[in-house]
A and B are shown apart, each in its own frame.
Chain A
């Protein structure tokens, strides 16, 4: 059974870079069938897609965050990572990683399943 687990600091100072890692177990991140995504949820608010990555390193990002986001993959460790720079209090959220399945061979939409349990990151001095 595929499982995903987020890890990283729970507290980040304003203007610094948020860094999280998602470890995939029970399956290979190098599967040709899937992308791997990051989604966040501010306290009491809705879900926001951050971006997704293929095992080859191909990435797609939310245009509203693209200038501050970098997603990378380490196939040797079966992990993918998120970096979000110049954070502010508005970046305080629960950050989820998830497997991203496309419904065709080309990039378009697709769904997220399963999800990690999520990790709360607070931006505060």
Chain B
């Protein structure tokens, strides 16, 4: 079955830039989406269609795509950005797949 691979954890100091990657063979042909999930809360969409930002999401969140890897970048990380981040895309049949998630720690 198709898989999206994320690093289990990323650590960054406040004010620095965090980059979270997601790799998958179908990513050159399928859009990627990113969600932020804080403890005890439902996921929140932060990036859609690789690099689009929903209204209400801070500009420090951005997304990019290159080949089989997509990247969520958080510029000027704040303490409130500490959360789990999940990428999501689709396999060649269009069926939905989530990555395993990355825990972002703000040191």
Residue positions of A touching B, CB distance < 8 A: 37, 39, 46-49, 52, 60, 62-64, 96, 103, 106-118
Contact = CB atoms under 8 A, between A and B. Distances in A.
Contact of B101 (A39, A47, A111): A47
Given A106-B94, A109-B90, 16 more contacts: A39-B98, A46-B101, A47-B35, A47-B86, A47-B88, A48-B98, A49-B88, A49-B97, A96-B42, A108-B90, A111-B48, A112-B88, A113-B48, A115-B44, A117-B42, A118-B42
Given A46-B98, A47-B43, A64 B88 contact: no
Contacts of B1: 63-64
B60 interface: no
Nearest to B90: A109
Interface in B41-77: 42-45, 48-49, 54
19 contacts: A46-B100, A47-B98, A47-B101, A49-B96, A64-B1, A103-B31, A107-B94, A108-B90, A108-B94, A109-B90, A109-B96, A110-B90, A111-B33, A111-B49, A112-B43, A112-B45, A113-B45, A113-B54, A115-B43
B30 interface: yes
Interface residues of B, number: 24
B107 interface: no
Interface of B: 1, 30-31, 33, 35, 42-45, 48-49, 54, 86, 88-90, 94-101
A100 B42 CA distance: 15
Q: Which 4 A-B pairs have the closest CB atoms?
A: A109-B90, A108-B94, A49-B96, A113-B45
A52 B96 contact: yes
A117 B37 CA distance: 12
Most B CB contacts (10 A, CB to CB) among A39, A63, A110 go to A110
Nearest to B45: A113
A64 to B, nearest CB: 7
